[in-house]
Amino acid sequence: MRSPLSPEMATQEVPLNETLAHLKTESETLKLKLEEERAKLHDVELHQVAEKVEGLGQFVMKTRRTLKGHGNKVLCMDWCKDKRRIVSSSQDGKVIVWDAFTTNKEHAVTMPCTWVMACAYAPSGCAVACGGLDNKCSVYPLSLDKNENLAAKKKSVAMHTNYLSACSFTNSDMQILTSSGDGTCALWDVESGQLLQSFHGHAADVLCLDLAPSETGNTFVSGGCDKKANVWDMRSGQCIQSFETHESDINSVRYYPSGDAFASGSDDATCRLYDLRADREVAIYSKESIIFGVSSVDFSLSGRLLFGGYNDYTINVWDVLKGTRVSILFGHENRVSTLRVSPDGTAFCTGSWDHTLRVWILMC
């Protein structure tokens, strides 16, 4: 940040550089102090606390639905609150709303851009939002009339200066939270398209976000290519907590069902759990044999299981408490790009670059 040159400034040039170095040292000292403070309260490891907890048995999980209809890589999907409908988006610009239970396609929209990397279902079930390389997030109200052209009622809501990587409605249809390749996240009023709050702090593309399921509902977490996961206050736009322990891009973040922790999945092939109240990373879910990046993560309803979709076409299921892998699922023929557990936890859906979506459950 250079101030305009003036005669006084010229003589102040040297002190300015000193101050920068001074700030850098101060920054490093403070960072160490923060680590110290965090360590002081670290009196037990997660797996120690988990010793008293019963182990999990064998899991048999199978695909119960395979949704075919996309002509290209499936990039994103989201569940409707009715627990059976989903919206999915793909590389060729198509956004499809399915009733996954019957496998019927209910609505289809063709976006005027390719790589629709983000899509979300509105809480009311009456609209979907999507965006990607068009740098925008648009909302399409759905209709009972199957012949109606949904693109006619499309509403452009968010405008970023680079690609849209993720979007999510808040507790109502009236606001959308977005993250973008331009390094920022933003909160928008759907009706007017007005920017309500922007969130700056990531040093590189932001790839994912998730809203906190808490009673206050005022925070969200985002993950980016700068290897950081940041927790933000929606009211002030401030970053309130930040975690930088991953070794590569963070592709996915998801809150623990209680809202007191969150998991992240990264290109460094690990998933990690961060405890928000203790302000630290508390678990790493990894194996020597797993070297390919995690594209998306989600918890089962109780938070005991963490599902991860990987770039080696598999899904690994982790015991959140004990840190062990309880199951590995095969089936997709290309990388798993998106994974979400249904709202009532009865199933999880994966979308893949093999053009299909699969719904998986525990077989009883």
Partner 1 sequence: MTIRTVRPDRGQHFHPRMHCLKKLEATVVEMQDPKTGVKGSEQKLNVTTIPHVIAGNDIIAWITNKMKVTQEEAGVFGTMLVAYGYVYPLQNHKKLVMCNDGSLYRFQTPYFWPKQNWFAEDSDYAIYLTKRNIRKKGMLEAYEQAHYNHLNEWLNHQWDFIVMQATEQYKAGKDRQKPDRVVLDCQERAYWIVNRPPRRTHSALDSSPERLINPKAEQKITFDQYRRMNIFYQQAIMRSKVKSSVSLGALVKFITTYKNHDPFLAPCLPSNPWQTDHDAYWTLNMRRVEVPTKMRVERWSFSLFELLTDLRGRDDFKIFLKKEFSGENLAFWEAAEELKWGASSSMSAKAETIFKTFLAPGAPRWINIDGRTMGLTVKGLDHPHRYVLEAAQTHVFMLMKKDTFFRYLKSPTYKDIQKKALNPEAHNFSPAQLEQNAQNRNPGIDPIILWQQDEEEKAKAAAASAPVDVKAMMSKIDRKK
Cα 89 to Cα 98: distance, rounded to the nearest angstrom: 11
Which residue in the set 149, 192, 198, 324 belongs to the binding site for partner 1 (CB under 8 A)? Answer: 192
Beta bridge partners of 316: 308, 328
Specify the 3-state DSSP secondary structure of 160: coil
Please give the residues from 18 up to 47 whose contact with partner 1 meets the rule CB under 8 A: 19-20, 23-24, 26-27, 30-31, 33-34, 37-38, 41-46
Which residue in the set 159, 245, 260, 323 belongs to the binding site for partner 1 (CB under 8 A)? Answer: 260
Q: How far is CA 30 from the centre of its chain?
A: 29
**Per-residue contact flags (x/-) with partner 1 for residues 285 to 324, judged by CB under 8 A:** ---xx-xxx------xxxxxx-----xxxx-----xx---
For residue 281, state whether it binds partner 1 (rule: CB under 8 A).
no
Instruction: Confirm if 269 and 254 have CB atoms less than 8 A apart.
Output: no
For residue 236, the tally of other CB atoms under 10 A from its CB is 11
For residue 244, state whether it binds partner 1 (rule: CB under 8 A).
no
Tell me the closest approach of the beta carbon of residue 23 to partner 1, in angstroms.
4
- Pairing mode, if any, of strands 239-243 and 250-255? unpaired
Beta bridge partners of 63: 360
Please give the residues from 85 up to 124 whose contact with partner 1 meets the rule CB under 8 A: 85, 92-93, 99, 101-102, 104, 106, 110, 112-115, 117, 124
Which residue in the set 9, 49, 55, 105 belongs to the binding site for partner 1 (CB under 8 A)? Answer: 49
For residue 192, the tally of other CB atoms under 10 A from its CB is 11
Nearer of residues 3 and 11 to partner 1, judged by Cβ: 3
From 138, 69, 142, select the one nearest 100 (Cα to Cα): 69
For residue 68, state whether it binds partner 1 (rule: CB under 8 A).
no
Which residue in the set 69, 237, 323, 345 belongs to the binding site for partner 1 (CB under 8 A)? Answer: 345
